[in-house]
Amino acid sequence: MYTLYNRSAPMKPANPAPDAPVSARKIIHLDCDCFFAAVEMLEHPEWREIPLAVGGAAERRGVIATCNYPAREYGIHSAMSSARALQLCPQLKLVSGNMARYREIADRIFAIYRRFTDLIEPVSIDEAYLDVSNSPLCGGSATRIAEAIRQQVRDETGITVSAGVAQNKFLAKVASDWNKPDGLCVITPDKQSEFVAQLPVKKIPGVGPRTQEKLMGLGVGTCAELQSVSLMELQNHFGRFGERLWQLARGEDSREVRTHRERKSVSVEHTFSQDLPDLASCLDQLDPLLEDLERRYERHRDARQVLGVVVKVKFSDFTQTTAECRAEQPHKGLYASLIEEAWYRGARPVRLLGVGYRLGPREGEAEAEQLPLF
């Protein structure tokens, strides 16, 4: 049912097709394996068997962007502080990375994806959804298309890509992680219910440690157990996200593959070399942050209106919080009050501050659903 495939098939040019009905969709989620580290190992084969991470310097309070699998055996993962990673693995090879080179390789990989379909939704530099519902390639088999994509990426770039194939984006995303690295997991419609039932709730997008802890308090550890909780109870405990939990616990996801993503926010943030000891020190950092934010917003000013403002505060213990409000005329005093609100939730030294604008839709478009800014 969840098999590692490694076949390839000859290709012919693909033609874009309109979105298929939800029940007939064939979605592939493609995710490059430890992408930044994989590129570094291509450039430096001698690093393949040693713990390797790409990230900022520990003395500058950098964080890990990604690491290879030997490093993961030490418990290192992305978003971990570089200092902590070096504590776990003192012999870790830590490199700052080469984003221009990563983008060059990523562009080549996405060019391969476009041989198969034009219905591509990039998620990040190394991750994308493809809709091949109406593709005539490989006899219309999404599994064989995924196999061929993986083979061509490996042959032409040296990068391995894991893939998930399913009827919707949620399950395709989960499946792509199932046989990593360099794996392919296919969830066929007749096996979907069985696959979802045994799925741990921590695999559901949006379920972090706190949500998982609350679900465990309800006696819920798997999607099968989550299915037994009523929609009303989930909404009482988790608000709007409760309805989403109810749907995903049943493997339901009607989202289309979107070839264009509209920017909903603009933000900047800064990690300080020394913790800011108190609220006053945080407020002293507002001017340079707001200047950076204005520079970043400049390219959107003519087309996008500011609808709200938000701040992010990450404390010295790595806990973080955000505060926001609607405002069409943002000013420094408004940001100061939000920082004060956020700071008092932790009332401890601060390692990172962020500020941002929530953007309105382009002229003639309906306002999009609000998404997290940071």
Residue 16 covered by a domain? no
pLDDT recorded at residue 207: 87
pLDDT recorded at residue 157: 96
Of 188, 205, 233, which closes a domain? 188
Count structural domains, the chain. 4
pLDDT recorded at residue 51: 97
Burial annotation 54-80 (CB, 10 A radius, 16+ → b, else e): bbbebeebbbbbbbbebbbebebeeeb
Indicate which residue of 127, 225, 256, 294 is catalytic: 127
pLDDT recorded at residue 23: 61
Q: Indicate if 56 and 200 belong to the same structural domain.
A: no
> Residues 141, 221: contact at Cβ < 8 Å?
no
Q: Indicate if 184 and 201 belong to the same structural domain.
A: no
For this structure, is 104 an active site residue?
Answer: no
**Known binder of ligand: residue 126?**
yes
* 227: CATH: 1.10.150.20
**Known binder of ligand: residue 118?**
no
Residue 108 covered by a domain? yes
State which residues of the chain have pLDDT below 70. Answer: 1-23, 261-262, 362-374
The continuous run of DSSP H or E covering 77 comes out as none
> Residues 169, 255: contact at Cβ < 8 Å?
yes
The CA angle 369-372-374, to the nearest 5 degrees, is: 150
3-state secondary structure at position 126:
coil
Q: Indicate if 348 and 313 belong to the same structural domain.
A: yes
Q: Indicate if 128 and 26 belong to the same structural domain.
A: yes
* 293: CATH: 3.30.1490.100
Residue 310, beta-bridge partner list: 324, 356
Q: Indicate if 29 and 139 belong to the same structural domain.
A: yes
pLDDT recorded at residue 21: 64
Q: How far apart are CA 370 and CA 374, in angstroms?
A: 12
Q: How far apart are CA 105 and CA 126, in angstroms?
A: 9
Q: Indicate if 211 and 286 belong to the same structural domain.
A: no
Q: Indicate if 65 and 107 belong to the same structural domain.
A: no
Nearest to 251 by CA among 319, 330, 169: 169
Of 142, 167, 188, which closes a domain? 188
- Backbone angle region of 61, left / alpha / beta, with phi > 0 → left and psi within -120 to 50 → alpha: left
Task: Report residue 274: phi and psi, to 5°.
Answer: -125, 140
Rounded to two decimals, the pTM is 0.74
> Residues 29, 134: contact at Cβ < 8 Å?
no
Nearest to 199 by CA among 219, 224, 168: 224
Residue 115 covered by a domain? yes
Q: How far apart are CA 324 and CA 312, in angstroms?
A: 9
Domain of 301 in residue numbering reads as 265-359
Q: Indicate if 44 and 67 belong to the same structural domain.
A: yes
Q: Indicate if 67 and 89 belong to the same structural domain.
A: yes
pLDDT recorded at residue 260: 75
Residue 254 covered by a domain? no
pLDDT recorded at residue 367: 38
* pLDDT tens digit sequence for 118-141: 999 998 899 999 999 999 999 999
Q: Indicate if 57 and 141 belong to the same structural domain.
A: no
pLDDT recorded at residue 345: 92
The CA angle 176-79-356, to the nearest 5 degrees, is: 105
Residue 8 covered by a domain? no
Residue 332 covered by a domain? yes
* 137: CATH: 3.30.70.270
Q: Indicate if 117 and 143 belong to the same structural domain.
A: yes
3-state secondary structure at position 18:
coil
> Residues 352, 312: contact at Cβ < 8 Å?
yes
Q: Indicate if 29 and 133 belong to the same structural domain.
A: yes
Residue 265, beta-bridge partner list: 358
